[in-house]
Amino acid sequence: MTLDVCDQDILKFVKCFGTSMTDLFTCADIFPADDDQKNSELERFCAATAATWLTNSINSGRVEDGFIIVDLMVRHAPYYLGNILIAKYLQRIMGGHLIGVVPSADHLSYRMMKIAEAFGLKGFVSEPSGNRDLSRHTVLPSLFKSLEGLSPEILRERILGLSVNGLRIGHLIYDSYMRWTLNGTIEEFNSPLKVHVAQAFEYLEFYSDLLNKYPSKSVVLGHMGYIRFGILARTALKRSIPVYHRTFHRPVAVTRFDDLANADTHVVRYSGRDLDNLYDRFASKGIPKARKFMQERITPERARNGMENIASSHGTGTVSLDAVALSKQLGLDSTKPSVAIFGHVLTDSPHLCNWAIYHDYFQWFVETLDIIKDIEEINWIIRLHPDRVHYQETGERDLCQIALTEMVGQYKHVFDMPASIASSSLFKIVTAVVTADGTAGYEYPAMGIPCIIAGESRYSGNGFTIEPKNADEYRNELINVARLEPLSAVEINRALFFCYIFYFHSRQDSPFLTNVPMGSWVEYDEGRVWRELEESMALNSPKADPLFRALEKQVRQNCRFLGEIGDDENG
């Protein structure tokens, strides 16, 4: 069922800065925090930035030149610096003025705004403050009434089906509710969920007003999910404004969205057709490179060096065991084949793809446990996501661990693999793996081990994963998992080629990016980031940046990915 609401029912909120939420303001309009006052390191970095970038912009000063909207809603330095860099290069390619969307008034970052102004941003708008007067919203009472008293399953389905004027927003509400309340699923239509439904309408109005007031050439985002980012992307796409999405910190991937119909396609999803178009030209180089990379990726030494955020799976603090030691440690039955099931971080954007068999990661997990409890001829090894501990530190309940602990106590063929054992140990013992849509879906096929997934993913449709289309097919695949054969050479090569495209060909380095780890929980020295970038600006020219050249080709040739270009500058 789709719940659709018309434009005239959307409440207009007028608050925050100026007479309208979309009035521009600058650093001069806010007061810096104590540690930003007389900060010589910040001032020096901003001066160097201005000297480098203000001479590398196209600013005619005319409003008719249009605007580029830049997502500055996350105060993590690698996030906003990466977005600003992409926006600056787009400005050089297509002209226009840069406007930053910054956090609401109580979460503003003076230093971020100061740095953005040094790059040449003309002003900022603050996202809605969240102080909603729900009683003034005429459509909410009837919408709320339609969602109250439903069973959890029907409620989840209704939320996911919510749209407004053809814009799918239910999945954005769903993920935002889970992320900010730290609930791993939706069980009832409670007050926090009501607030997130109302928030979606607030952002719809805010972004509509923003794009009406500032005719835009493009939007630069670091996320396509959640209410804050996803509604901006979809509002722009509905107006045929291209959206450039930056993924990763260094090197970066940039995905261009032009069509609202593709807004729910994973930002780094490569279809079978995408890979086919590149295979003949790059397979001979890419497959050996990917094979070496994937083998090195799971070694503790590489993981400890911060390689692709996998240190929590394979790095310091974990021990790699051979098949015999792992079997003994877990207490496996040596007469049975072993299959691993990889859990997910429940609140980390489960709805970034077009479809999934289950409503969210937790529903997938508990349904999977319910299926395997009766499949006793398999050693089922459950590997919960190691990064979930960072979310629990902020209050998220470990629902998967609770469900798994209860099950392990009842069923002797189900095993909980502790986080102290490196995930790489599993390559030596499993005959197949299962994930909803995680990285195991290409990591294990790259080593010849078949993988069952439970919906669309960044890598599905490429001929190396087992892809049931519904719950019945998924159940049957699990029941028959012991019959799966190792992947063929062709399938392994397809998986390896995907890895090559994903890790190398689609990404581009730049001397003006920072290689700070992506996880927001990783501590880093922001001053060191400024110093290193200041040194890089002294040694490098934006005009000669390979990222600029690649992005210019992407724009001129209307390509979805940086790596669609015929040459192979990226790896």
Helix ranges (H only) for 95-241 are 110-119, 140-147, 152-160, 170-181, 191-213, 226-238
List Cβ neighbours of 379 (8 Å cut-off, separation of 6 or more): 330, 332, 333, 336, 337, 338, 339, 413, 415
Spatial contact of 536 and 511, defined as CB atoms under 8 Å apart: yes
Per-residue pLDDT of the chain (571 residues; tens, 9 = 90+): 344 443 333 332 223 333 456 889 888 888 776 666 677 888 899 999 999 987 655 554 455 679 999 999 998 888 999 999 999 999 999 999 999 999 987 788 888 999 999 999 989 999 987 655 555 567 788 999 999 999 999 999 999 999 998 899 999 999 999 998 888 999 999 999 999 999 999 999 999 999 999 999 999 999 999 999 999 999 999 999 999 999 988 899 999 999 999 999 999 998 888 888 899 999 999 999 999 999 888 775 554 334 444 545 555 568 889 999 999 999 999 999 999 999 999 989 999 999 999 999 999 999 999 999 999 999 999 999 887 776 654 555 678 888 898 888 899 999 999 988 999 999 999 999 999 999 999 999 999 999 999 999 999 999 999 999 999 999 999 999 999 999 999 999 999 999 999 999 999 999 999 887 766 667 778 888 889 999 999 999 999 999 999 999 999 999 999 876 545 444 4
Q: Which two tokens stand for residue 242?
A: 């291209």
The SS3 of residue 70 is: strand
Which pair of structure tokens corresponds to residue 83? 């977005």
Q: What is the pLDDT of residue 57?
A: 57
* Whether 242 contacts 266, CB under 8 Å: no
Predicted confidence at residue 37, as pLDDT, reads 67
From CA 554, how far away is CA 551, in angstroms rounded?
5
Distance set, CA 215 to CA 64, 220, 236 (Å)? 8, 14, 10
Which pLDDT value is given to residue 537? Answer: 93
Q: Which residues pair with 455 in a beta bridge?
A: 356
Residue 497 CA to chain centroid, in angstroms? 22
| The three-state (H, E, C) secondary structure of 304-333, written as one string | HCCHHHCHHHHCCCCECCCHHHHHHHHCCC
pLDDT at 385: 87
Q: Residue 389: its pLDDT value, please?
A: 72
Predicted pLDDT at 138: 72
Question: Which of 87, 90, 110, 107 shows the shortest CA–CA distance to 99?
Answer: 87
Distance (Å, whole) CA 11 – CA 116: 31
Coil/strand/helix, residue 455: strand
Question: For the chain, what is the radius of gyration of the CA atoms?
Answer: 24
- pTM for the structure as a whole: 0.91
Q: What is the 3-state secondary structure (H, E, C) of 1-15?
A: CCEEECHHHCCCCCC
Which DSSP helix (H) or strand (E) runs through 477? Answer: helix 471-479
CA distance 69 to 561: 20
Q: Whole-angstrom Cα distance, residue 455 to residue 457?
A: 6
Give me the pLDDT at residue 200, please: 94
pLDDT at site 401: 87
